[in-house]
Structure 1
Amino acid sequence: MPPFRLGVITDEISQDVGDAIRIAKQYGLQGLELRSVDGKQLHRISERRLEEIAAMIHDAGLSICALSTPVFKSHLKNIEEVAAHHRMLRKYAELARRLDARLLRGFSFWADGDFGAVFPAIAEELRQAASVMEEYDLVFALEPDPSVFATNGAKVGALVRAVGSPRVQALYDPGNHLWDPDGELPFPDGYEALRGHICHIHLKDAVREHDRTEAVAIGTGEVGYEQLLARLIADGYDGWLVVETHYRLQSTLSEEQLKRPAGYDFSAGGEAATKECLESFLHLLKQLEQKSL
């Protein structure tokens, strides 16, 4: 069996954590990543409800592998907005401690200028985040995203190295690279740019057609998961692989939903699409295991 652990982001299935638990158990997953529940982002949910959610997950024998936060999806030049996100980061750190999670996913500020010009300022904000992570014994997983400054592996890798702290590492999301305005290849280019700094991996897939990218089931798009999974096994990656579907069977998520995924509208139709992604992905894993025999 591959050494990594498998999970899914709960609101890609439903806003009801019970539904996500059911699917995780059905497909033999080990963990859940939380982003929005009951129609709300985690930092807007009552402490009592969060305790109930944590108890449900742990009673099912599952781990909470990470919290998918919106931290630093904000405007870098807006001082008040950045300060609010630093307060949000501390709030999520407190939630992670209560929920027994070790990773917080975050970003590198809305892209509204030249990356090179703002690189030092972003690195400084991330150094401040690293101090909070040190205080709470957590890791900040910096994700490439087409809507923020660090859109790909090369840019995220440069920031992680500039921060120079084990508390700020890279989240590798090869599917996101298919939306990268710079056109970085998910694999091997995106992977090589982050190799040695990857603490967490999200799984999604897509196809690029001219100037448009469309999400598809994992393994049916352009990421090249067969080669990627073989490489992860060869390199000894033993962290989490977490399905982040971003794909629906009967509808298409809007650009705004992709930028700010949360809530009931976002989750609508997610269960069927996530099942398809899980079945496709687990089939890929089974094929790899058979080839290794």
Structure 2
Amino acid sequence: MKLGVITDGISRDFEHALTVMEEFGLDYAELQFVWDKEVGNLDAGERARVRELLERHGKKVSNICHHVFAGMPMSTKPGEPVHVKHMDTLKRCIEIARLVGSPKVRILSGKKEMILWGRHGAEQWNVAKGAWDALLPLIAPAIELARAEEAQLVVETGNGTMVNSCWTGRRLIDDLDAKDVLTVLWDPANNCWAHEDAWPLGYETLGGAGGGYLGHMHVKDVQADTPKATLEVRPMGEGQLAEQWEPLAAALKDDGYDGVISYESVYHPGDGNFEAGFRQSVERFKQIFA
């Protein structure tokens, strides 16, 4: 299995993060925040420095993980300034991906509207009418750009985004007829808020490792309490996915998953020290997925 980490979960000091990756034998760096910038905002000199450090430390890049389309309301129209700004960022991210040899570039799916479909009265009183239909033309230009640039995008199952489950991720790909350039960046912990179990439901919804929908993975452990609007990040194997990780990992191996699994180190032990949280959980992550 190809294992890595989102580097700023260790440190935004990129060289230090790469050194810690070496310490724990992780081969794939996922780039989100590097030094004091989000990855898509790096200038030419900073990009060259990133590539030089990757080569020096012998690390590959799994994904360019800028927050493209994050927070965009469904009232946005294609071509409006905020949409153009996100599209420009995506273009830069694709350029950076090409420079550092990353096979994937992440997008998100705008700001979540809670109820998208309904029946037996809900369609009248509860559904955010038109929200899903408004999402499609916002993402469609990204699909066109990816095809033109021969790039591969992944849409994350995110907290607070329109795609917050494997089911909605698969539907977005199908509705856009975009399976050639868009797959799901599956974050099973994020899906806990949508009450979608990773195993077996999420995995089967994506068609398994060979179904053509699963492109990349983030792994972390959480405890979600939707009624209390509270999310607690926990050490690996101590959250609500604890019993699901091992059968999921076994299925990925048996089915020949060839993508990267990135540990998302967003846990700290109470003092804000995320590197300490990483060190507390990384061996358990490797034990399950290696």
TM range (shorter): 0.7 to 0.9
Distance across 2 between alignment mates of 1:167 and 1:115 = 25
* Corresponding position: 1:176 with 2:194: no
| Mapped contact 1:172–1:194 kept (Cα < 8 A) | no
| Larger RCO of the pair (alpha carbons < 8 Å, separation 6+) | 1
In the alignment, structure 1 residue 119 sits paired with structure 2 residue 116 = no
User: What displacement does 1:135 show?
Assistant: 2.1
Kindly indicate whether residue 208 of structure 2 is the aligned counterpart of residue 208 of structure 1: no
4+ residue segments displaced more than 4 Å? none
Unmatched 5+ stretches in structure 2? 118-129
Query: In 2 relative to 1, CA 114–285 (structure 1 residues): closer, same or farther, beyond 3 Å?
Result: closer
Of residues 143, 154, 158, the one that matches 2:171 is 158
Partner of 2:215: 199
Alpha-carbon RMSD: 1.7
CA contact (8 A) 2:113 2:131 kept: no
Greater fraction of residues in helix: 1
Deviations 1:13-63 (A, max 9, x none): 101111211121111111100001112112222210111111101221110
- The aligned counterpart of 1:263 is none
Q: Deviations over 1:205-253 (max 9, x none)?
A: 11235633311112222222111101111221111000012211124xx
Question: Is it true that 1:76 corresponds to 2:77 in the alignment?
Answer: no
Within 5 Å, which residues of 2 pair with 1:1-293?
A: 4-73=1-70, 74-78=72-76, 79-112=80-113, 114-116=115-117, 117-165=130-178, 166-180=180-194, 183-195=195-207, 196=211, 197-209=213-225, 211=228, 212-223=230-241, 224-251=244-271, 269-285=273-289
What is the aligned length? 265
Gap change, CA 1:45 and 1:154, over 3 Å in 2? same
SS in 2 for 1:15: coil
CA displacement, residues 179-201 of structure 1 (integer Å, 9 cap, x when unaligned)? 33xx2222222222222200101
1:261 alignment partner in structure 2? none
3-state SS, counterpart of residue 148 of structure 1: coil
Question: What is the CA–CA distance in structure 1 between the aligned matches of 2:25 and 2:105, rounded to whole Å?
Answer: 24
- Identity over aligned pairs, percent: 24
Task: Check whether the contact 1:207–1:213 (CA below 8 A) recurs between aligned residues.
Answer: yes
Instruction: Name 2:123's counterpart in structure 1.
Output: none
Inter-partner Cα distance in structure 1 for 2:136 and 2:20 = 38
Moved more, 205-214 or 59-68: 205-214
Between 91-100 and 236-245, report the one with greater CA deviation: 91-100
Structure 2 counterpart SS, 1:115:
coil
Q: What stretches of structure 1 of length at least 5 have no aligned partner?
A: 252-267, 287-293
Residue type matched to 2:22 in 1? K
- Whether the aligned pair in 2 keeps the contact of 1:110 and 1:147 (CA below 8 Å) is yes
**CA offset digits 1:81-124 (Å, max 9, x no partner):** 12221121112111211222121111110124643422233223
SS across alignment from 2:29: strand
The answer to whether the 8 A contact 1:115-1:150 is kept is no
> Partner of 1:75: helix, strand, or coil?
coil
| Distance in 2, Cα, partners of 1:170 & 1:54 | 26
Amino acid corresponding to residue 135 of structure 1 in structure 2 = A
Q: Which amino acid aligns with 2:73?
A: H
Quick check: 1:174–1:187 contact (8 Å CA) kept in 2?
no
Question: In the alignment, what sits opposite 1:259?
Answer: none
Output the CA distance in 1 between the equivalents of 2:44 and 2:140.
29
* C-alpha displacement of 1:285: 4.1
Conserved in 1, the CA contact under 8 Å of 2:75 and 2:134? no
- Partner of 2:218, secondary structure, is strand
Q: TM-score with structure 1 length normalisation?
A: 0.85
Give the secondary structure class of the aligned counterpart of 2:238. coil
